[in-house]
Structures are given as C-alpha cells and as structure tokens.
Amino acid sequence: MTINAPRGTNDILPPDSFKWQYLEEKAKEICRKYNYKEIRTPIFESTDLFIRGIGESTDIVEKEMYTFKDKGGRSITLRPEGTAPVVRSFIENKLYGKALPFKFFYSGPMFRYERPQAGRYRQFHQFGVEVLGSDNPLVDVEIIKLGIDFLKEVGLSDFFVEINSVGCKECRPPYLEKLKNYFSEVNQELCGDCKRRIETNPLRVLDCKVESCQEIIKDAPKITDNLCDKCKDDFEKVKNGLNTLKIEYREVPTLVRGLDYYTNTAFEIKSDELGSQDAIFAGGRYNGLIEEIGDRDIPGVGFALGLERLEILLEGKELDIESGIDIYIVTIGESAEREGFKYLNQLRESGISADKDYFGRSVKSQMKDADRKNSNYTIILGNEELESGQATLRNMKSGEEFSVVLSELSEKVSDLLDN
Ligand code: ATP
Ligand code: MG
C-alpha cells in the first residue's frame, strides 16, 4: 500500500520551491529595510500558550489545534499561528528590558485542523511581523505598509485594505453590552453559532458569514460609534498615517478580532481573486496579550500573511526567478567523464552552478538533459578536447560558440556570465 501526504498538506517541489525561496527572500529584504529582525520559535509549544494567547472561544482553539500528549505526558500543540509564540519568547527572554520597541518577523509552517480547500490547508505557511513595546498608531501604519510593500515587490497590485478599531478595555465592555442587547432582541433570527456567541463572544457575531445573520449585523451598533476619546484619536492617527502614505482603505465596522486582548486597530488585506478565502494578510493590535501571557502591560501589534494564498495570486505571473544552471558538461567516454568531473568541481568551487550526466548517456541525450536542466552554457569534452586542452562553449539560448582553453574554463564562464 502506498503512503500519501496527510490531507491538507502539500509537498513543495521544484521548480515551485524556487518560488518559495524567492518569496521568502523578498520578505527578508523588505524586513531588512524596515529594521525588523528574524525570530525563530519552536514548531510546537505548550498547549496552554495558545489557549491563553488566542482565546478559548476562537475557531482555532475550539476546533483547529493539533494537540497531543508527548511521551512525558505534557500537552503539546503544533503552532497554529505565530503571535503567541513570539510573545512567549519575548517574555521568557526578558526582551522587555532592552530597547523597545522590538520589531520581529518570522516565516514558517503553521498547523490547523481545517477543512482543506483552495487557499486553506492543514499545514500552511505564514510570513508575519510583530512589534512589541509601542502603542504609537504610526506603528500600525508601518506594518500595513510593510505588508503592502511586500505584495507590490513580488508583483501584486490587485488587493484592498480594510480597517477598523475594536476599542480597548475601557470602551469595549459597554459596547459589548449594547451589542448583546441588540442581538438578544433578534436572537431567533440568528444562526446556531451566533446564538451561542452572543454569550461567549458577541464581537464574533459581527464576523458571521451566514447571509441571514449579515442582514441583522448590518444594523447592529457600531464599535466605531462607541470608542473612547483615546481610541477614537488613535484610530484617526492610523487613518491619517495611511493617508500620508497614500494607502487607500475601506472602513469596515464589522471587522473584528474576537478577543479581549485584541485592541484598537484591526485590518485585513484582501483580494477579489481569492474566492471565499479572500484574506492575504490580517492583523491588528493586541495591547492586552502580553499581560495575559506574561503579566506585563506592554503593547503589541502585528500581522500574518498566508504564503499559499500569495502563491495562488502569483500563479501565471512572470517572476524574477533563476531555477536553471550556468553550465552543463557533456562528456564522451570514460576518461573524459573523469576529467569532466574534475572541471565540474572546479566550476562549482569558483561559484558557478554546474552539472553533468550520471547515466553514461549519448551526447544527444546529454544535450537534451542540459536543455531540461535549463543550462545557460554547455561544453563538450571528448578525447580530442582533452588532448588539445581546448573545447567549445555553447550558449544554449543564442547558439553562440566560444573557444576556451580548458585550464581557464572557470574564468571564461565567469566572464561570460558577467556580461
Ligand atoms: P480565515 O478567516 O481565512 O480563516 P484567519 O482569521 O483564521 O483567516 P489568521 O489567523 O488571521 O487567519 O491568519 C492570517 C493569514 O494566514 C490569513 O489571512 C490567511 O492568508 C492565512 N491562513 C490562515 N489560515 C490558513 C489556512 N488554513 N491555510 C492557508 N492559509 C491560511
Ligand atoms: Mg481561520
């Protein structure tokens, strides 16, 4: 019986893996420009971290976590997201004692037990940023701009920004009361999930995708009409900042993050080309999260971007990706193969990507192989070439040929590649 990859996971094969390297490289370049530094946290954490850091009444914690007992009986969870681990690490390593804010980025696999479909998998990859230690609304703008720069850098332009503010621990509780009262009156018309959420997490009712609920949500009290002065002012600053950077946005009063530690700005960057899984990246402020996990009142803000969704959007687009090799060495006969192997090694040592045949194939088949491997140049080595110490380099794209002294092969190839 054959064994397949688990449902909802993907193998990333060449040449696609070049696309992934390209995206990760671009993300790193942007982060360098913005002075965000990489953090790598474990793939698994204590389950409690996610229960506290994401919240018990969220989809993730309610039904999507890969949780298991390890051999020591500890409850372990494969990370479903990156924020809680970053905050855990920040606290554990006492980074709050250093110059704030800390600006991190991460990139790697996340795990959620979801119903697999286009743009939704059980192992997927996120690139994300987190800024810990500043509640300046301009930081919110900075990360939105960073994410947009990334999308533009890889050639996307067809996306839009939605923003909202979900208030703070001062102004949200009275708003939630209003919301509960409103929804309680129309309780009968809401879906089962929403009926339950009125009590556990009324904000999340606003997020419901069921059409009949949408009708009711339309007329619900809006959080942005119920913000305290500080939150109102911060939200204005975010919008002003976006205006200053000429970033267009829509205000969407039903855009929420469901939990108490998410505060102020919430945003999503979406594309119409993604169907129902339309968010490319999403994030917001979590000024209460560090206190929840680590008893310290330190503000934070971040986003996470789904790399698979980005990949879907990039399908068919021409990317600046080099997946071929510089030169392929074709050899005729055993002694030429041995010599060729030596040259191959020399080329590689001087930084040139090179390959050869390992099946003793005919010259014609080797040339085909060079083509398949997308080689810029080929060189044919037979007894004649070895005796004369000279061979012919062929540019596979233009057909141009160059005579080369074998003892200067690497230099010659380097020169040609430089031009
Ligand atoms: P959704 O509403 O699509 O379930 P979410 O609110 O669960 O999104 P976040 O936790 O905010 O998503 O994750 C940020 C981004 O990660 C999403 O915008 C999306 O691009 C990506 N993402 C989330 N879950 C998945 C998944 N199962 N497969 C692929 N990408 C995902
Ligand atoms: Mg989800």
Residues 294 and 348 in one domain: no
Residues 399 and 265 in one domain: no
Residues 339 and 392 in one domain: yes
pLDDT at residue 367 greater than cutoff 80:
yes
Q: Give the pairing of strands 263-270 and 300-306.
A: unpaired
Residue 320 Cα, ligand 1 centroid: separation in angstroms?
27
Is 192 part of any domain? no
Residue 337 Cα, ligand 2 centroid: separation in angstroms?
55
- What pLDDT is attached to residue 343? 97
Residues 266 and 335 in one domain: no
Mean of pLDDT values over 314-318: 87
Is 191 part of any domain? no
Residue that finishes a domain, picked among 314, 333, 353 = 314
> Is 82 within any annotated ligand binding site?
yes
> Is 53 within any annotated ligand binding site?
no
Is 164 part of any domain? yes
- Closest-CA residue, ligand 1 atom 12, reads 282
Measured CA distances, 193 to 34, 198, 212, 228, 257 (Å): 41, 9, 13, 30, 17
* Total number of domains in the chain: 2
Measured CA distances, 85 to 49, 65, 89, 289, 312 (Å): 8, 14, 6, 11, 27
Atom of ligand 1 nearest to the CA of 80: 10
Is 115 part of any domain? yes
Residue 249 Cα, ligand 1 centroid: separation in angstroms?
20
| Token output for 348 | 């590689």
Is 292 part of any domain? yes
Confidence of residue 78 (pLDDT cuts 50, 70, 90): very high
Residues 401 and 267 in one domain: no
Query: Phi and psi at residue 10, in whole multiples of 5°?
Result: -130, 140
Residue 292 Cα, ligand 1 centroid: separation in angstroms?
23
pLDDT at residue 398 greater than cutoff 80:
yes
Residues 363 and 331 in one domain: yes
Counting residues of the chain whose pLDDT is more than 90, the rounded percentage is 87
Atom of ligand 1 nearest to the CA of 122: 27
Is 211 part of any domain? no
- What pLDDT is attached to residue 84? 97
pLDDT at residue 18 greater than cutoff 80:
yes
Residues 253 and 339 in one domain: no
Under DSSP, the state recorded for 242 is H
Residue 83 carries which side chain, given as an amino acid letter?
T
Is 382 part of any domain? yes
Residue that finishes a domain, picked among 288, 314, 340 = 314
pLDDT digits (tens, 9 = 90+) for 141-185: 999 999 999 999 999 999 999 999 999 999 999 999 999 999 999
Atom of ligand 1 nearest to the CA of 121: 28
Residues 78 and 32 in one domain: yes
Residue that finishes a domain, picked among 314, 345, 362 = 314
- What pLDDT is attached to residue 318? 83
pLDDT at residue 128 greater than cutoff 80:
yes
- Closest-CA residue, ligand 1 atom 20, reads 306
Residues 371 and 283 in one domain: no
Mutate-to-test residue for ligand 1 from 124, 143, 303, highest number of ligand atoms within 8 A of CB: 124
Q: Which pairs with CB-CB distance under 8 Å and at least 24 residues apart come from 316-320?
A: 317/155, 318/155, 319/19, 319/22, 319/154, 319/155, 320/22
> Is 79 within any annotated ligand binding site?
no
Residue 412 Cα, ligand 2 centroid: separation in angstroms?
54
Residue 270 Cα, ligand 1 centroid: separation in angstroms?
11
- What pLDDT is attached to residue 410? 96
- What pLDDT is attached to residue 201? 86
Is 217 part of any domain? no
Ligand nearest to the CA of 277: 1
- What pLDDT is attached to residue 170? 95
Residues 235 and 369 in one domain: no
Chain centroid offset of residue 129 CA: 10
> Is 123 within any annotated ligand binding site?
no
Residues 242 and 375 in one domain: no
User: Which of these, 302, 81, 220, lies nearest to 208 by C-alpha position?
Assistant: 220
Mean of pLDDT values over 315-320: 85
Residues 115 and 44 in one domain: yes
Mean of pLDDT values over 360-366: 96
CATH number at 84 reads 3.30.930.10
> Is 120 within any annotated ligand binding site?
no
Ligand nearest to the CA of 258: 1
pLDDT at residue 258 greater than cutoff 90:
no
Residue 227 Cα, ligand 2 centroid: separation in angstroms?
27
Full residue range of the structural domain in which residue 337 is found:
325-418
Confidence of residue 222 (pLDDT cuts 50, 70, 90): very high
CATH number at 358 reads 3.40.50.800
pLDDT at residue 209 greater than cutoff 90:
no
Ligand nearest to the CA of 113: 1
Residue 308 Cα, ligand 1 centroid: separation in angstroms?
10
| Burial per residue of 78-115, b for 16 or more beta-carbon CB atoms within 10 angstroms, e otherwise | bbbbbbbbbbbbbbeeebeeeeebbbbbbbeebbbbbe
Q: Which residues, judged by CB distance below 6 Å to any ligand atom, belong to the binding site of ligand 1?
A: 81, 112, 114, 119-121, 124, 126, 277, 279-282, 304, 306, 308-309
Confidence of residue 295 (pLDDT cuts 50, 70, 90): confident
- What pLDDT is attached to residue 187? 84
Mutate-to-test residue for ligand 1 from 201, 277, 289, 308, highest number of ligand atoms within 8 A of CB: 277
> Is 106 within any annotated ligand binding site?
no
pLDDT at residue 81 greater than cutoff 90:
yes
